[in-house]
């Protein structure tokens, strides 16, 4: 399927037309953006940006106006970012690649739960580090952490942080991973499924909540980073310069803002500013969709890049 211009995007039988709003977020002078790794939205359409600069969590309204910031403790390691609604309200689950931890926080930054290196000496030791890249939460409260930059395992815990099981390991066979960079729980088919962005193997693998393999697919993607489910569609940033939309049957709906040349430019992803174009992505890493269907993209660039695609 051809990737079309964001200014008048239409793919298949589903219309995906957006107005491109570059530099959507008004970042205050006291916040120094690093790599903009994750972005999430709460029920009130407030947006939470997770980046490696400081403070590492920056909050905006849907018009991009700055609200507040916190999370200095995640400077340098901010990576995985997931907002989850549960019985007690809405909470953020984050991973810190520098500290090797997953932390559950309130929307204002209070730490509620921390999970570090699993007690699995056959997998982890002084040389073989735990470097978590993403986290997801199931409806029953179980927490899934993907060790994307470490030993390529997925670890499952209950809501209290008690260890349940692990699966994966480095490799290219079914059930193995080469950088399980992103993880999410899909509820579109009536029962939870665990989606893993097996980025180094250029594919997505799907498992039961207990870690049993269900299916894998590698069409219409290159380097899938993470997932965001909106209605019947799945949006994922493809690090090699586009955002991809799949339907509930894992079939391509659209590629958004594809730039086939970006990844081959010298110095990518940190390119000369003159290279960037408002309607083209270079290195999408985080994504979310608000209540109106507008799409927000955070890119893996040293001083950050944020784009809003307003649904038309």
DSSP symbols for 199-267: GGGTEEEEE-TTS-EEEEE-TT-SSB---EEETTEEEEEETTTEEEEE-TTS-EEEEES--TTGGGSTT
pLDDT at 292: 94
Tally of domains within the chain: 1
Mean pLDDT of 16-40: 93
Task: Report yes or no: 38 and 77 within 8 Å, Cβ to Cβ.
Answer: no
Distances (CA, A) of 52 to 16, 112, 119, 233: 31, 21, 27, 29
pLDDT at 16: 81
> Which token pair is 222?
């290159």
Residues 6+ apart with CB under 8 A from 209: 138, 140, 142, 185, 192, 193, 194
Strand order in the sheet with 284-289: 18-22, 306-311, 295-299, 284-289
Look at residue 89 and tell me if it is in a domain: no
**Residue-wise pLDDT tens digits, 100-159:** 999 999 999 999 999 999 999 999 999 999 999 999 999 999 999 999 999 999 999 999
Q: Can you tell me the distance from the alpha carbon of 209 to that of 110, in angstroms, rounded to the nearest whole number?
A: 28
Mean pLDDT of 277-299: 95
Residue 43 is classified by DSSP as T
Look at residue 238 and tell me if it is in a domain: yes
Locate tokens 């391509």: which residue? 252
Residue 310 is classified by DSSP as E
pLDDT at 14: 53
Look at residue 286 and tell me if it is in a domain: yes
Mean pLDDT of 203-226: 97
Share of the chain above pLDDT 90, in %: 89
Look at residue 241 and tell me if it is in a domain: yes
Q: Which residues form the domain of 267?
A: 6-37+124-311
**Residue-wise pLDDT tens digits, 156-183:** 999 999 999 999 999 999 999 999 999 9
- Count each helix (H run) and each strand (E run) in the chain, helices first: 0, 26
What is the distance of C-alpha 185 from the center of its chain? 12
Q: Is the dihedral of CA 51, 53, 56, 61 positive or negative?
A: negative
Q: Can you tell me the distance from the alpha carbon of 79 to that of 18, in angstroms, rounded to the nearest whole number?
A: 27
> Which token pair is 50?
């997770």
Helices (H), 77-213: none
For residue 10, is pLDDT > 80? no
Domain containing residue 177: CATH number: 2.120.10.30
Q: Is the dihedral of CA 28, 31, 34, 37 positive or negative?
A: negative
For residue 12, is pLDDT > 80? no
Q: Can you tell me the distance from the alpha carbon of 70 to that of 54, in angstroms, rounded to the nearest whole number?
A: 8
pLDDT at 8: 46
For residue 267, is pLDDT > 90? yes
For residue 9, is pLDDT > 50? no
pLDDT at 23: 86
pLDDT at 11: 29
Residues 6+ apart with CB under 8 A from 190: none
Look at residue 145 and tell me if it is in a domain: yes
Look at residue 73 and tell me if it is in a domain: no
What rounded mean pLDDT belongs to the chain? 94
Dmax (CA) of the chain: 53
**Residue-wise pLDDT tens digits, 55-95:** 999 999 999 999 999 999 999 999 999 999 999 999 999 99
Q: Can you tell me the distance from the alpha carbon of 64 to that of 54, in angstroms, rounded to the nearest whole number?
A: 18
Residues 6+ apart with CB under 8 A from 302: 34, 35, 269, 270
For residue 279, is pLDDT > 50? yes
């Amino acid at each position: 399927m051809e990737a079309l211009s964001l200014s008048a995007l239409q793919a298949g039988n589903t219309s995906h037309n957006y107005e491109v709003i570059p530099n959507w977020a008004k970042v205050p002078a006291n916040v120094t953006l690093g790599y903009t790794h994750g972005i999430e939205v709460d029920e009130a359409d407030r947006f939470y940006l997770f980046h490696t600069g400081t403070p590492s969590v920056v909050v905006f309204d849907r018009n991009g106006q700055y609200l507040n910031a916190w999370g200095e403790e995640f400077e340098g390691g901010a990576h995985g970012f997931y907002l989850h609604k549960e019985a007690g309200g809405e909470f953020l689950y984050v991973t810190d690649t520098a500290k090797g931890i997953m932390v559950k926080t309130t929307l204002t930054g209070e730490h509620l739960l921390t999970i570090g290196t699993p007690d699995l000496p056959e997998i982890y030791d002084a040389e073989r580090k735990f470097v978590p890249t993403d986290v997801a939460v199931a409806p029953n409260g179980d927490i899934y952490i993907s060790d994307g930059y470490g030993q390529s395992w997925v670890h499952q815990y209950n809501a209290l942080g008690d260890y349940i099981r692990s699966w994966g390991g480095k490799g290219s066979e079914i059930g193995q991973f080469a950088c399980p960079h992103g993880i999410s729980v899909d509820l579109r088919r009536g029962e939870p499924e665990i989606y893993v962005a097996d980025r180094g193997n250029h594919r997505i693998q799907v498992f039961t909540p207990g870690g049993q393999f269900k299916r894998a697919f590698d069409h219409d993607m290159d380097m899938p980073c993470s997932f965001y489910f909106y209605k019947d569609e799945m949006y994922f940033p493809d690090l090699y310069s586009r955002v991809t939309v799949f339907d509930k049957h894992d079939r391509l709906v659209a590629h958004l803002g594809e730039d086939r040349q970006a990844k081959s430019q010298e110095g990518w992803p940190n390119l000369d500013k003159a290279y960037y174009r408002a309607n083209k992505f270079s290195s999408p890493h985080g994504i979310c969709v608000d209540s109106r269907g507008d799409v927000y993209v955070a890119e893996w660039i040293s001083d950050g890049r944020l784009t809003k695609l307003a649904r038309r």
